[in-house]
Copies of this chain bind each other. A is one copy, B any other.
Amino acid sequence: MGEFELLARLRQRLRPPQGRVRIGPGDDAAVTVPGGATATSVDALVEGVHFSRDHGGLAQIGAKALATALSDLAAMGAEPGEAYVVLTVPPDLDEEGCLEALDGMAELAAATGTTLAGGDVTRGPSLAFAVTVVGHAQSADEFVGRDGARPGDALVVTGELGAAAAALLLDEIEGVELSGPAIEALRRRQLEPAPRLDAGRALAAAGARAMIDISDGLGGDAGHIAEAAGVGLRIDGEALPIATGVAEVASAAGRDPLRLAATGGEDYELLAALPTAGLDLAGLADACGVAVTRIGEVVRGEGVEIRLPGNRLLEPDGFDQLS
């Protein structure tokens, strides 16, 4: 496979530069005219670490590489702009496979208004993606960092938790009491995470003071918000929106569904701290296009406390699960 030839074929599948992008793929660099402020995030997906080709097709994997990067932009409340992709091609992936992965990525890019503006292709020992995404806002203050939570703020989470972790358990268990479609839905939550871009912008507009995407598990990511602002977070385990099917998988695996929802990674939902004054959860869910659940509050102090039924606390060492 010639590098130039593959690059040329990849480029043919991309939309011509438009909007902020003045020069797209094919030059030494892409040229954009950003306007206000930009938020930039990079994310890597490596075969054998973050995904396996045994689960999920190449299009799904390519889309997920972009989705996980876009999820960081969602957590800033950014409008998605451009993506730049490094594709590392292993010996056992042919040109068609590369194009399939790119097609999956390009489809999510189009659906989210993201322009694939540049990239690099290299040989390497295993399939890997490194995706840089650039998001936009009128000014830097419109972005929501991790560090603004204040005691008294409400903690809210988008969507449902635990589905991705439950999906990973499916291969280890037998006799789960779920229909085929319900199992497929769980697997899709793990293989096809949806970056909560609309929700991120809606939460930012609603005055979110701190926001993060839940990629490493609610407990661990909540810890980042607590640490960044020097505050404590109290989360009510019984309030957590547990995804459909998680209870059944947890039961078959002898696991606690609340623990899966509180510590399982890869949910890619958003956790935000918002002032309680005027907080309208129903209106917020409407603006977010996804459920928004109040799960706790910001308090003086430090650390994250997740209270389970019977007044037990979730052990903090359950938090530090890394994907």
Contact = CB atoms under 8 A, between A and B. Distances in A.
Given A132-B132, A140-B22, A143-B23, A40 B123 contact: no
Contact of A82 (B40, B73, B213): B40
Contact of A117 (B2, B33, B40, B117): B40
Nearest to A145: B27
Interface stretch (A83-91, A98-106, A151-159): A83-91
A320 B3 CA distance: 10
Given A3-B322, A124-B128, A32 B42 contact: no
Interface in A288-323: 320, 322
Contacts of A72: 28-29
Q: What number of copies of this chain does the assembly contain? A: 2
Contacts of A36: 33
Nearest to A117: B40
A208 interface: no
Interface in A120-176: 120, 122-126, 128, 130, 132-135, 139-140, 143, 145-147
Nearest to A78: B29
B118 A29 contact: no
A275 interface: no
A128 B124 CA distance: 9
Interface in A59-76: 72-73, 75-76
A50 B121 CA distance: 12
A2 B39 CA distance: 26
A189 B44 CA distance: 30
A30 B22 contact: no
Contact of A50 (B82, B122, B140, B212): B122
A29 B41 contact: yes
In the A-B complex, list the 7 residue pairs whose CB atoms are closest, starting with the nearest.
A130-B130, A29-B41, A29-B39, A28-B75, A86-B130, A132-B132, A28-B72
27 contacts: A3-B322, A4-B322, A22-B37, A22-B140, A27-B146, A28-B73, A28-B75, A28-B76, A28-B146, A28-B212, A28-B213, A29-B40, A29-B76, A30-B41, A31-B140, A32-B40, A33-B140, A34-B34, A40-B117, A40-B118, A42-B85, A42-B118, A46-B123, A49-B122, A49-B124, A86-B130, A124-B126
Given A27-B228, A28-B211, A31-B140, 16 more contacts: A4-B322, A26-B146, A28-B39, A28-B146, A28-B212, A29-B40, A30-B40, A31-B143, A31-B145, A32-B37, A33-B140, A38-B38, A40-B117, A42-B86, A86-B130, A128-B128
Interface of A: 2-4, 22-23, 26-34, 36-44, 46, 48-50, 72-73, 75-76, 78, 82, 84-86, 88, 117-120, 122-126, 128, 130, 132-135, 139-140, 143, 145-147, 211-213, 228, 320, 322
